């Protein structure tokens, strides 16, 4: 082998050693950097709508637990020891407020949570329930108390007392009177939620405050854009046709924001098949108010649906999402997706051009 080839081989070997050393240093530096990164912020949100909004702003900086998940009923929900454990480990809790989560004080007390509690609806103008709506709320609360009593008997029988219902807790009516808690059903109110969520995350995690603000600005732009789009689309429908019947009194804020009159089906229970008298009352209500569409979640019998449609001429509009999002593989699985789904269903059912 010539002297030149020997020298070249030695140079190449040294170069490989240097590159290997540099690669090792880079790997070590990366490992140290990852080790230095703080763990994601532990966050709890009370229900799926709020959880999605928190996720949009928090991104990868947070580890989110949502207590009442998709398709869950926050009105009748009962906390479990698992929920208590998740809240005990959290640094920040997001709730809707306005009396929506009547079970939350029990859960906070049972968990020993000592982090920051943020009321996402703080700053919105609450909507006042009408006398008829208050009557429905009172009936719903009576059903909830009955459900709680049965649940707590089972809880005691199994030895779980972490978030047990206290019999002398004040009722929602006593604490919040005639306030409608479903404030998120207006996108303008959604912007207030975004501000409160961003401020809360930034307060407990100032290191990522700039990221939270940037994500919130993008989210705000999307909310404003959809809000304008929905107002334009629904305003194009004749006002006289913007009336629907729903079984759940949860769309008052939506109605005020987008000019749609929602009428709750008085007497229709979510817990049982409607009686002939209840169905007759509903049919009379639809005829009296000239309602072109019906969204009644508890009507599952095809025979009953056909009867209502036949006797009133109203269109059966399908499912509207109010207190909970759809599962993750469906269009209404996000806050904005829920609005697009609901508005699409309403427009299709109410717009005379869709006939």
pLDDT digits (tens, 9 = 90+) for 205-231: 999 999 999 999 999 999 999 999 999
Domain spanning 236-354: CATH 3.40.50.1980: yes
Domain 41-216, CATH among 3.30.420.40, 3.40.50.1820, 3.40.50.2020, 3.40.50.1980: 3.40.50.1980
Query: What's the pLDDT score for residue 223?
Result: 98
> Helical H runs in 90-245?
104-111, 131-157, 172-176, 187-204, 209-235
Q: Is the pLDDT at 351 greater than 80, yes or no?
A: yes
Q: Is pLDDT larger for residue 68 or for residue 5? A: 68
Residue 301: band (very low, low, confident or very high) from pLDDT cuts 50, 70, 90: low
Q: Is pLDDT larger for residue 316 or for residue 25? A: 316
CA angle 53, 57, 61 (to 5 degrees): 125
Backbone angles phi, psi at 314, to 5 degrees: -75, 150
pLDDT in tens, 76-108: 899 999 999 999 999 999 999 999 999 999 999
If you average pLDDT over residues 176-197, what whole number do you get?
Answer: 93
Percent of the chain whose pLDDT exceeds 70? 70
Q: Is the pLDDT at 299 greater than 60, yes or no?
A: no
Please state, in angstroms and rounded to a whole number, the distance separating the CA atoms of residues 152 and 146.
10
Q: Is the pLDDT at 118 greater than 70, yes or no?
A: yes
Residue 314: band (very low, low, confident or very high) from pLDDT cuts 50, 70, 90: confident
Residue 189: band (very low, low, confident or very high) from pLDDT cuts 50, 70, 90: very high
Range with lowest mean pLDDT among 15-29, 53-67, 236-250: 15-29
Q: Is pLDDT larger for residue 146 or for residue 313? A: 313
117-144 burial code (b ≥16 CB/10 A, e <16): bbebbeebebbebeeebbebbeebeeeb
Residue 279: band (very low, low, confident or very high) from pLDDT cuts 50, 70, 90: confident
| Cβ within 8 Å of residue 24, ≥6 positions away | none
**Which residue has 């009352």 as its token pair?**
281
If you average pLDDT over residues 36-41, what whole number do you get?
Answer: 80
Range with lowest mean pLDDT among 4-13, 152-161, 217-226, 299-308: 152-161
Q: Is the pLDDT at 143 greater than 80, yes or no?
A: no
Could you tell me what percentage of the chain is helix, strand and coil, using 3-state DSSP and rounding each to the nearest 5? 55, 10, 35
Q: At what angle do helices 48-58 and 335-350 cross, to 10 degrees?
A: 130
Residues 229 and 210: beta-carbon distance below 8 Å:
no
Query: What's the pLDDT score for residue 17?
Result: 59
| Side-chain-facing half-sphere of 133: CA atoms under 13 Å | 18
If you average pLDDT over residues 323-334, what whole number do you get?
Answer: 93
pLDDT in tens, 120-132: 999 999 998 876 6
The model carries a pTM of 0.80
Percent of the chain whose pLDDT exceeds 90? 53
């Amino acid at each position: 082998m010539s002297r030149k080839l020997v020298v070249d081989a030695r140079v190449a070997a040294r170069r490989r050693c240097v590159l290997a050393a540099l690669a090792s240093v880079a790997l070590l530096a990366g490992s140290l950097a990852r080790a230095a990164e703080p763990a994601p912020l532990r966050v709890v949100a009370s229900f799926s709508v709020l959880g999605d909004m928190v996720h949009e702003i928090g991104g990868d900086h947070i580890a989110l637990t949502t207590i009442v998940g998709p398709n869950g009923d926050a009105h009748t929900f009962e906390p479990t020891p698992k929920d208590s454990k998740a809240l005990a480990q959290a640094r920040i809790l997001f709730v809707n407020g306005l009396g929506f989560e009547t079970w939350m004080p029990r859960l906070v007390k049972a968990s020993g949570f000592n982090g920051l509690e943020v009321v996402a609806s703080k700053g919105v103008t609450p909507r006042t329930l009408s006398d008829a709506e208050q009557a429905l709320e009172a009936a719903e609360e009576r059903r909830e108390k009955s459900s709680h009593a049965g649940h707590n008997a089972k809880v005691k029988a199994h030895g779980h007392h972490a978030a047990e219902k206290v019999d002398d807790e004040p009722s929602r009516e006593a604490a919040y009177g005639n306030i409608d808690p479903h404030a998120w059903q207006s996108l303008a109110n959604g912007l207030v939620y975004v501000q409160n969520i961003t401020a809360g995350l930034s307060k407990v995690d100032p290191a990522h405050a700039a990221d939270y603000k940037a994500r919130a600005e993008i989210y705000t732009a999307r909310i404003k854009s959809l809000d304008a789009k929905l107002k334009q689309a629904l305003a194009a429908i004749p006002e006289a046709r913007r009336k629907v019947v729903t079984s759940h009194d949860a769309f008052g804020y939506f109605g005020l924001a987008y000019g749609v009159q929602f009428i709750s089906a008085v007497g229709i229970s979510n817990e049982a098949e409607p009686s002939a008298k209840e169905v007759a009352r509903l049919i009379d209500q639809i005829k009296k108010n000239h309602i072109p569409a019906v969204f009644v979640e508890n009507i599952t019998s095809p025979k009953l649906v056909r009867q209502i449609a036949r006797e009133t001429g109203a269109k059966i509009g399908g499912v509207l999402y109010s207190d909970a999002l759809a599962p993750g593989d469906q269009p209404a699985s996000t806050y904005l997706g829920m609005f697009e789904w609901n508005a699409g269903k309403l427009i299709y059912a109410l717009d005379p051009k869709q006939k």
